[in-house]
Structure 1
Amino acid sequence: MSIAVTYLVAKSIANAPYDRALESSAIVLSQQLHEVNGRVTLQLPISAREILRADETDNIYYQVLGSSGEFVSGDRDLPLPPEEDAGAGSLVQLRDDRIHGAEIRVAYTYVQQPGARPALVQVAETLDKRAQLANEIIKGVILPQFVILPLAVILVWFGLTRGLAPLNAIQERIRARSPGDTSPIDEGAAPQELTPLVASFNELLGRLEQSVQTQKRFIADAAHQMKTPLAGLRMQAELAQREQSPDELRRTLAHIADSSERTAHLVKQLLSLARMENMGAADGMVPLDLCALSRQVVAEWLPKAWAKQIDLGFEEPGAPVTTSGNATMLAEMLNNLLDNAIRYTPDGGHVTVRVTTAPFEPFVFLDVEDTGPGIPAGERERVMQRFYRILGTQAEGSGLGLAIVREIVQQHGGDIAVLDYVYQSSPRLAGARFRITLPRGTPGEGASA
């Protein structure tokens, strides 16, 4: 490719001076035309004609044709230009042609004659001088390239080797790491150009370390929490094997059934917490109607509320309340809040789910109120921790429900607060109110439940 381009450039450079010389010869020759008795004549001395044809390398040709195309002087067999060029006036034009099998370069012009068609003047030469000059130019350009190109390749290879050395060193350090090593890479050891890449990689390692620690914590928590109920189930099963009385056996089996249900609930919440911590709210984030989603979840809890004669109510503003979130995660959040509320509210109590908004506020609110034992002010932050249960409560629980709720709320960019119940002043209706604050969705978004 380089040689081809160099050849074309060299040919163009070689043509330029010789084209100008041809044009000058055509102009000088056209100035020697005269009209005598209505006929075009060329008044050019023999010495001038010899000078015109003098060239040690190329053959020179010229031709003069009169107004009627009659031959006036020069070489009769010089090819004629295209007829459409006759209207170009006195401009000197150039073309490539052939004569006697040889390639030639022709400069030609038309000389206007009074009351007649223009006369034609042509000067041509073969291309040997041009070829020699082009070859000299090519030699001067191409030959050094055969020396420069290998040197350039060596220099580029050397530069790339030195430039990639820090990157190769980082690569070797990463390969030498143990599978569990998530410590950050030293950014100072990386070239300045790679610092942003190393910083981003360190951020990824940090998130990976956090995920690994979360999984380790989950495994440890699960092992710790499952140990006691499984040991209890085993002890009750062994006791049932020794029971002789049918009534005692039924009571023992009932205890086993209750323990199994609590253990299944614990396993479900452990898996839910692990899923929420690893899922991320960005998975399945869509605009949705918080009212429609809450109404659907509340309806699913009506049978359990009726079983305890609890008045489970739902209040909404009467218009869709849009937020952006993961519908599965938000439903799981409300399920845990309602499970807590119904579990700790005495028979005949009240549980209310309320969706509200505030004018000009970029938030929406989801409240779950109950008339249970309430949560002391000093315990309201601790109840969000894993496996924490307030002492003195009679209801069985795993201590994971509110931890799941907080994890989901945080992944949605929201906030959770434990407040006094709106009817706290009445001892009969003492309880707690959980307020979830979520970012408001853009008005007009296609919300879905």
Structure 2
Amino acid sequence: MRVFKREQRSLFGEILDWMLTPLLLLWPISLALTWLVAQGLANKPFDRALVYNVQALAQQVRMGPDQQVQFSLPQPASELLRADETDLVYYQVLGGRGEHLSGDRDLPLPKPNQVKGTSYQVHIRDDEIRGLEVRVAYTWIRLDAKGTPPALVQVAETLEKRSVLAAEIIKGVMLPQFALLPLAVLLVWLALVHGIKPLKQLEERIRERKPDDLSPLDDKAVPMEVAPLVVSVNDLLERLKDSISTQKRFLADAAHQLKTPLAGLRMQADLAQRSGSSEEDLKKSLQQIGRASVQATRTVNQLLSLARAEGGVTHLPLQSCDMAALSSDVLQDCLASAMDKGLDLGYEGVAVGTPGAQVQGNPTLLKEMVRNLVENAIHYTPSTPERQGVITVRVLVDPYSKALVMQVEDNGPGIPLPERDLVFQPFYRALGTNVDGSGLGLPIVKGIAQQHGATVSIDMAHPGQTLPGACFTLRFIDPAL
């Protein structure tokens, strides 16, 4: 569980943190590295002086006539060697057998693992004498080639001057950094302010827009990193524009479609209220009022179904729907109206509960889709004693592709090929029909089918006959969707 949780993150603050944190962390590392470099720089000139002193002392070591190592250092040279106001200088000269010839007896000897090297080759090491850290330069001197052990010359110096020089170097490097660090923070701050200015400008452009301005934003006038966000906003604006257009079209269509039945209701009501109207006239007016109200109710229901189909079902719960069961329910509901017209309404196909006959969808919309197909067939299929109208609903499962197929077939006049795409447009009605309708049933079917991953097509049910009929086929591409 997060103990500290920000309600809202600041992009400016987060970027500033990520830029300043490494800067502030690297600054102490820079101090440490500068100290190490300063120590190396401070050692170099003083090490050269030690090397010079060792070489000068080594020149004073020679082999005497009695084959004894001798060392003679004039008094002025000894005083000059130790004439240092800051550091203490020690030196030591030992013969080949380790006998002390001159200098400080307690100066530490080189470690056994330190190679003697060639004659007069100077080496440098760190050591300690009398509790003081010293820098020691030493060399071995071979005075003859008879195997005589080499003599040792050492010069040591304390580290005070080196520390002072290293401190001066650090001051010279770090003091400017103390001044540059706040300046760097300020420059980072100003750079971020300038960097996020396009976001502020984008915000101002959006805020200055009029409420009805849904035109896309210019994604070329923003930085590359913000362009995907602008593209997403433009996509949202486009979808919002489509949604508003759908709502406006729905309101306009509703007003247009309801105007006729409402006008009829008003006219029949006026006729019924005329003075001198007979009982028969009143009964006819009431029948017309009933038919107009039924037509208005059906139109309103279809408009609402169309709006729901065009608006999407992403917010509605999805469940496994058995298309055989849904079709059976719709047939039960439509049986009475089919019998009134003398139609033979039946079902063929798989039984309820058959594997593969299920789709993931919204049962209300799927039932509305099937109902519109069946009612459309009932309205447009004629039935006479000589030739009874037949409507068949099928639910089939392809044994090879496992695709679910649903068909509604009739033996009515059918739909000509040039009009098969037009009938899916709202309020379009096929030419030559005298059936009352609003032209909304098939657009509802297409909208719901698309939402459930299905395709809808129209074919002739009985090619070559006088009434070829129509066969509407719904194919669910993936029944699992």
TM range (shorter): 0.5 to 0.7
Which residue identity lines up with residue 408 of structure 2 in the other structure? Answer: V
Distance in 2 (CA, whole Å) between partners of 1:364 and 1:52 is 107
Distance in 1 (CA, whole Å) between partners of 2:168 and 2:357 is 82
Which residue identity lines up with residue 300 of structure 1 in the other structure? Answer: D
**1:316 aligns to what?**
350
Flag the 1:51–1:395 CA change in 2: closer, same or farther, 3 A: farther
- Where do 1:322-341 residues align within 5 Å? 328-341=364-377
Distance in 2 (CA, whole Å) between partners of 1:438 and 1:305 is 24
**1:296 aligns to what?**
325
**2:436 aligns to what?**
396
Match of 1:7 among 21, 31, 38: 31
Flag the 1:364–1:302 CA change in 2: closer, same or farther, 3 A: closer
Which residue identity lines up with residue 373 of structure 2 in the other structure? Answer: L
Distance in 1 (CA, whole Å) between partners of 2:440 and 2:396 is 24
2:174 maps to 1:174: no
Cα deviations by residue, 1:128-177 (Å, 9 ceiling, x for unpaired): 8447624631441342451475267348626853x555555444333322
2:382 maps to 1:342: no
Flag the 1:136–1:303 CA change in 2: closer, same or farther, 3 A: same
Are 2:374 and 2:408, in contact at CA under 8 Å, matched by a contact in 1? yes
2:469 maps to 1:431: yes
Distance in 2 (CA, whole Å) between partners of 1:322 and 1:18 is 86
**2:398 aligns to what?**
357
**1:29 aligns to what?**
none
Cα deviations by residue, 1:182-207 (Å, 9 ceiling, x for unpaired): 22334444455554444443333333
Are 2:38 and 2:166, in contact at CA under 8 Å, matched by a contact in 1? yes
**1:210 aligns to what?**
242
Are 1:276 and 1:408, in contact at CA under 8 Å, matched by a contact in 2? yes
Distance in 2 (CA, whole Å) between partners of 1:55 and 1:201 is 78
Distance in 2 (CA, whole Å) between partners of 1:143 and 1:14 is 16
Unaligned runs of 5+ in 2: 1-23, 51-71, 91-103, 107-112, 116-124, 137-155, 384-388
Q: Tell me the secondary structure at the aligned position of residue 355 of structure 1.
A: strand
Q: Tell me the secondary structure at the aligned position of residue 390 of structure 1.
A: coil
- Where do 1:17-416 residues align within 5 Å? 57=86, 129-130=162-163, 133-134=166-167, 136-147=169-180, 149-150=182-183, 153-154=186-187, 157=190, 161=194, 167-191=199-223, 194-242=226-274, 249-279=282-312, 293-307=322-336, 308-309=338-339, 310-316=344-350, 319-321=355-357, 328-346=364-382, 349-357=390-398, 359=400, 364-412=404-452, 414-416=454-456
Which residue identity lines up with residue 381 of structure 2 in the other structure? Answer: T
State the TM-score, normalized to the length of structure 1: 0.65
Are 2:405 and 2:475, in contact at CA under 8 Å, matched by a contact in 1? yes
Are 2:334 and 2:375, in contact at CA under 8 Å, matched by a contact in 1? no
Cα deviations by residue, 1:10-43 (Å, 9 ceiling, x for unpaired): 3444456789999xx9xxxxxxxxxxxxxxxxxx
Distance in 1 (CA, whole Å) between partners of 2:350 and 2:105 is 107
When the two chains are superposed, the root-mean-square deviation of aligned CA atoms in Å is: 5.4
Distance in 1 (CA, whole Å) between partners of 2:410 and 2:134 is 104
Are 2:423 and 2:430, in contact at CA under 8 Å, matched by a contact in 1? yes
Flag the 1:188–1:350 CA change in 2: closer, same or farther, 3 A: closer
Flag the 1:173–1:305 CA change in 2: closer, same or farther, 3 A: closer
Distance in 1 (CA, whole Å) between partners of 2:323 and 2:189 is 65
Offset at residue 327 of structure 1 (A): 5.0
Q: Tell me the secondary structure at the aligned position of residue 182 of structure 1.
A: coil
Q: How many residues align?
A: 397
User: Whose Rg is larger?
Assistant: 2
Q: Tell me the secondary structure at the aligned position of residue 436 of structure 2.
A: coil
Distance in 2 (CA, whole Å) between partners of 1:418 and 1:339 is 16
**2:146 aligns to what?**
none
Offset at residue 305 of structure 1 (A): 3.6
State the TM-score, normalized to the length of structure 2: 0.62
Flag the 1:257–1:11 CA change in 2: closer, same or farther, 3 A: same
Distance in 2 (CA, whole Å) between partners of 1:413 and 1:390 is 27
Unaligned runs of 5+ in 1: 26-44, 62-73, 77-88, 108-122, 442-446
- Tell me which moved more, 392-401 or 2-11: 2-11
Cα deviations by residue, 1:96-118 (Å, 9 ceiling, x for unpaired): x9x99x9x7999xxxxxxxxxxx
Distance in 1 (CA, whole Å) between partners of 2:161 and 2:289 is 111
Are 1:295 and 1:314, in contact at CA under 8 Å, matched by a contact in 2? no
